[in-house]
Chains A and B, each alone.
Chain A
Amino acid sequence: MRTVLNYLTNTRGRKRLHFTDWLTYLYLLMGTAMMFGPVIWLVMSSFKPQSEILRFPPRFLPYRQETVIVEGYDTPLQLFDVVLEDGTTRRLAQVRRVGIEAQLIDPANPEEIFRVNIADRTPVESVYFGLENYQEGVESFNFWTYLRNSVVVTIAATVVTLLVNSMAAFALSKYQFRGRDTILFVTIATLMVPLSVILVPVFLVISEVGWTNNLLGVIIPGAATPTGVFLLRQYMLTIPDELLDSARIDGASEWRIYLQIILPLARPALAVLTIFSVMWRWNDFLWPLVVLSRSELFTLQVGLNSFQGELNIQWNYILAMTVLTLLPITVVFAFLQRYITTGIATTGMK
């Protein structure tokens, strides 16, 4: 405790914590609660059985009513603490409930039946992180199909993006050729023109190419990202031209230069673009929504949205599936958060 306190009150340069530092801590801790709270609430809720999901007011931890298996009864019986007429409290198993009267037995002595008012019993509960929502949700939600589609789209699109963007960036940074500046200008100008503005004609083009209801229609169109080209080009400009020239003198072809000099040297920028591309594609919603209409091709995001749009919302499954959908991104972030945050701070893109 002492060391934790020392660590927290350790200032860089200044002598001791000013009251504004405490205010800052307060703000940051409140912010942490605000940012993580909703996600933690989601995760906690996803473990709750249906009865707990419907409970109002809700409780933070997932509870489950204890049950006991008694000989002579097919299903496990729910346990209650019952206040009997003589004022004693006993732990009994409920056999059936008729109106406001409950019939209970002692698991140790199943012959005797107690009849009590339902108000006189309280359920015996324990904290229980149940995986039933996940198991049943995965089946009714078609999870594996959607997951496969999302994985295919994310990986294929990232590979294509890295390839075509790095090739273009190489050409735009290391060659003088006619039309270069025009291409560069158009690239930068469309940096800000989003898909949402050209929905209708994009749909036409994709259907003319024959890619509606085809994962290619999701993978290819977004691969020529202006952001990626721009980011890689800026990085490649810092690679000295002399390296290329001496390689040419040694007889290397342009493709060899691209594959063996440029790509290895641009690794940091490629890593940043990889992280971004994975994030974009995993979370992408509008494009797959427009292109895909057959449910066996849905990605996780589109699938999740159509699942929640169904008539009666089955919250217990939806919560579990939402957790599964945000899990990969969260794991990636936990490991790479430093690269992601510094990558964004330096390139200013998302």
Chain B
Amino acid sequence: MASIPPTAARKKIKRSVSSPADVLRLVGQFFEAVYQVFVNIIDFLMHPLQNRLGVRGMAYVFVLPNLLIFGVFILLPMLLNFYYAFTGSTNLYPADRPFVGLENLSRLFSCGNFLDPNTCEVDVFWRAVSNTGGYVIFQVTTMILMSLISALALNRKLAGQGFFRSVFFYPVLLSPVVVALIWKWILQQDGLLNALVVSLGQERVGFLLSPQWAQFWVVVISVWAQMGFYTLILLAGLQAIPSELYEAASIDGASQTQSFWRITLPLLMPTMFVVIVLSLIRAVQVFDQVFALTGGGPGTATTYMVQYIYDVGLASQTNQYGIASAASLVMAFFLLLLTAVQLRLGRNSEIT
């Protein structure tokens, strides 16, 4: 700065006010100055603390707010959940709840035949479990397949790649309620899809009124809303495969199909496993989209485990907190299992 002659400097200052970019720079400088003042105030206030605790001790200060929120709103509820599962009555306040041991769990598990929910004492829970099982199987397989095809298509070196990638990702950003409403509008009695059905000479279908159709559409819609996310991860996995391998393979006379089965797929496997486990964990927790779309109906056709917990524990007036928490435990067990698998895979393949 010192080397600039005074006249040039003055010219610069004159110009700086006229162009919008320089106005922005001035605003930036202003905020930087404000930030400096802020830093100095914090520094001044925190100095005595550091003098007392030492440099090491400050680490606890930094980690404290996060730990506090985390402990109170995540860790504590996790522990409380056990307490609720093993105590009875309809009181929410922990001290008012008598210990009942395994009663909640055994009620949940008292079934004549686990494959037939009607023989169970808490039949809705087992219907929710079997609904969730069906959903998980169909949703995850369809979604992984679609994501893989899309990722392979997006990985080809074609023009407009960035655009298509964004397009496939866009629905991921929509909220569950918005997704549900978009599709409810299409699937309703007088909706777009029924117009298509009628134009093909068929009778109108109550897509959200028949149990099978509702279950089908719940899967389709969640694939629509989520596949972009997994497509991106798989795409990143595909792009990490070194292109030299393909070149070497083509020199050796391998066809495209051969290099897909022998190179692409095996090298994509670690990413694939991560994607499968992530999507499984998410599928087990299916709730909000479906809740906004069908409310769990018709009947209990689309009532899944989380909705069961929500209905029994919070939404209904029966206040069966014990049963809801016991159901939570069952679900947490499944999720923990999946997480353990994922952490293990992550350690083995060093991909997380």
Contacts and interface: CB of A to CB of B under 8 A. Distances in A.
Interface of A: 7-14, 20-21, 24-25, 27-28, 31-32, 34-36, 38-39, 41-42, 45, 54-58, 163-165, 167-168, 170-172, 175-177, 180, 183, 186-194, 196-207, 209, 220-224, 226, 229, 248, 253-256, 258-260, 279, 282-286, 290, 301, 304-305, 308-309, 315, 318-319, 322, 325-326, 329-330, 333, 337-338, 340-341, 344-346, 348, 350
B173 A279 contact: yes
A345 B237 CA distance: 9
A345 to B, nearest CB: 4
B66 A254 contact: no
Given A8-B159, A201-B76, A57 B63 contact: no
15 contacts: A7-B159, A28-B158, A31-B168, A39-B182, A56-B194, A168-B65, A183-B67, A193-B78, A198-B328, A200-B321, A204-B93, A224-B69, A248-B55, A254-B55, A341-B232
Given A34-B224, A350-B172, A255 B77 contact: no
User: Size range of the interface on B?
Assistant: 35 or more
A59 to B, nearest CB: 9
A222 B73 CA distance: 8
Interface string B304-334: 0010011001100000010011001001100
B222 to A, nearest CB: 14
B80 interface: yes
A200 B42 contact: no
A224 B74 contact: yes
Interface of B: 38-39, 42-43, 46-47, 50, 55-56, 58-60, 62-63, 65-67, 69-70, 72-78, 80-81, 83-84, 92-94, 149-150, 153-154, 156-160, 162, 164-178, 181-186, 188, 190-192, 194-195, 198-199, 224, 228-229, 232-233, 235-236, 256, 274, 278, 281, 285, 287-288, 291-292, 295, 306, 309-310, 313-314, 321, 324-325, 328, 331-332, 335-336, 338-339, 342-343, 352
A278 to B, nearest CB: 10
Contact of B191 (A58, A187, A220, A304): A58
Contact of A256 (B43, B173, B175): B43
Contacts of B70: 187, 190, 224, 226
B177 A198 contact: no
Given A168-B63, A345-B235, A193 B177 contact: no
Contacts of B336: 193
B236 A346 contact: yes
A242 to B, nearest CB: 16
